[in-house]
Structure 1
Amino acid sequence: MRAIVCTLFVSGLLWDSVRAENNISSLRVAAVAWEGELPCLKWDCECTFKRQRGCCCANHELQEAEDQIFMRMMDLSTRMYQLGESILEVIGGIRVAFTASLSPRAKCLGPVTRNSPIPYDVITLNQGSGYNPALGIFTAPRCGLYSFSFSVYSKVDMAGERMYYKVQLMRNGEVVASIWEDNREDSEDSSSQAVVLSLQQGGQVYVELLSGRQLCGNVAGLNTFSGSLIYPTLA
């Protein structure tokens, strides 16, 4: 639009000099001979009369502006790509999830002389290698919000026998949730808990059996411990 306006404006100035001869040749001669001040300092007569395109007096400046805009767009595109890579690294660069259960290799787990992590030794899933089956402890590979769940099952041999257990979920040595039973009425019992926890990198979560308690009659897959990263955080 600026090119058209500029061309028309200058042509209007020159046309006064060639009213009698209504042709392009005369207009060109008048343009070359023009001694007055042009409204645009960089008017290119040769460009105007030979190429006819892109010949506004501000064409050079417009090209420079176009180049600058292009460079800025390229820089913005690069920055957006880098930001996307950073977001991917923070949010989706690592998957953390595990599921483990207690194998029925012994009739009973416990009683124990002190509170002890339950060694869930049948590993179904361990993405991120955060869960250690030898210790029964999950160690957070990065800061984030995590979900955890655990289920407890126990069975006694006969009616009237005491069912006596207490299992609790621990975060860095502190109780977060617990499940317990102490009665002589049930021959078997099961329950579960689920929590959402914020963990720093290196934070530990495990399920422990309390001192003097025991879990008996475990059936494969009923005593379980699971966890997963919901989303990472910076701290």
Structure 2
Amino acid sequence: MNSALFSVCLFIVLHLSRHSASISPDLQAAAGSWKGSLPCGGWSCECTYKQPSCCCAADAVDQLEEQTFFRLMSIWSSMVDLQKLVDKNTAGRGVAFTATMSQMSGCFGPFTCDVPIPYANTSLNHGNAYNSALGIFTAPRAGVFSFSLTVYSNKGSESQRLYQRVALVRQGRSEAATWEDNREDAEDSATQTVLFTLAAGEQVYSQLMSGREICGDIWGRNIFSGFLLYPIEGI
């Protein structure tokens, strides 16, 4: 055993002696006969083994224990602060919805005014930001949101007129739309996908324009969906 390793062992023995009044005679003899250098200088074996608090390493060990304790407390405090920051930045991130119109063999519309479309069948509504009774999405926090709108209509025969116009509305203003006006197709569909920057509380919904209609959707192909892409602070 080299002197450095033996010194460390003796240091450990002295530290253990602070918590135990009983040290084996062999260890006492080894400590007493040691002539080399020690981690903390010399000691009095008589003092060390009869009064463990007199150990020459006691003060250093106490300081080390105290430093370690406060360091751990500092790390714990930093972890708590980090968790709070993570919670703040991820709060409301679980926002996503997908909803479809109820199956219908007839038509929705026409009406004499613009009418919000009630996408009543909700297959996904994380964050509960979408109101299926009204067909309205309300932003739970500020951020950039992605919305997708698919409009499908089936008149059953080419002699019937496909006549639809559905707008994606943000805070009462039409921002995007899909439309059809012809007698050449028995059925047709179109999709719009847009990004909106919304403040908390702003609303988005789709709206059937006055005089237009959506017909023959027995498969739930009229779909309104959206999700939070990323949050934004300060708006």
TM over 0.5: yes
- Mapped to 2, the partners of 1:208 and 1:46 lie a distance apart of 91
Is contact 1:91–1:231 with CA below 8 Å preserved after alignment? no
- Mapped to 1, the partners of 2:117 and 2:189 lie a distance apart of 16
Indicate the larger mover: 172-181 or 90-99: 90-99
Indicate the larger mover: 155-164 or 134-143: 155-164
Map 1:1-235 → 2, pairs under 5 A = 46=44, 55=56, 60=59, 63-64=62-63, 67-68=66-67, 70-91=69-90, 95-105=94-104, 107-235=106-234
Deviations 1:102-148 (A, max 9, x none): 11346111112222211111122222221112211111222233221
- Mapped to 1, the partners of 2:92 and 2:110 lie a distance apart of 42
Any gaps of 5 or more consecutive residues in structure 1? 5-23, 28-41
Over 3 Å counting, the alpha-carbon distance change for 1:93 and 1:83 in structure 2 is farther
Aligned CA RMSD, in angstroms, stands at 3.3
Q: Which amino acid aligns with 2:203?
A: Q
Over 3 Å counting, the alpha-carbon distance change for 1:62 and 1:93 in structure 2 is farther
- Mapped to 2, the partners of 1:137 and 1:92 lie a distance apart of 21
Is contact 1:101–1:220 with CA below 8 Å preserved after alignment? no
Is contact 2:167–2:177 with CA below 8 Å preserved after alignment? yes
- Mapped to 1, the partners of 2:222 and 2:212 lie a distance apart of 15
Over alpha carbons, which structure has the higher Rg?
1
Any gaps of 5 or more consecutive residues in structure 2? 8-31, 50-54
Three-state SS of the structure 1 residue aligned to 2:200 is coil
Structure 1 stretches of 4+ moved >6 Å: none
Task: Name the % identity.
Answer: 43
Q: Which amino acid aligns with 1:198?
A: T
- Mapped to 1, the partners of 2:137 and 2:186 lie a distance apart of 32
How far does residue 219 in structure 1 lie from its aligned partner after superposition? Answer: 2.4
How far does residue 230 in structure 1 lie from its aligned partner after superposition? Answer: 2.9
Three-state SS of the structure 2 residue aligned to 1:168 is strand
Q: How many residues get paired?
A: 197
How far does residue 183 in structure 1 lie from its aligned partner after superposition? Answer: 1.7
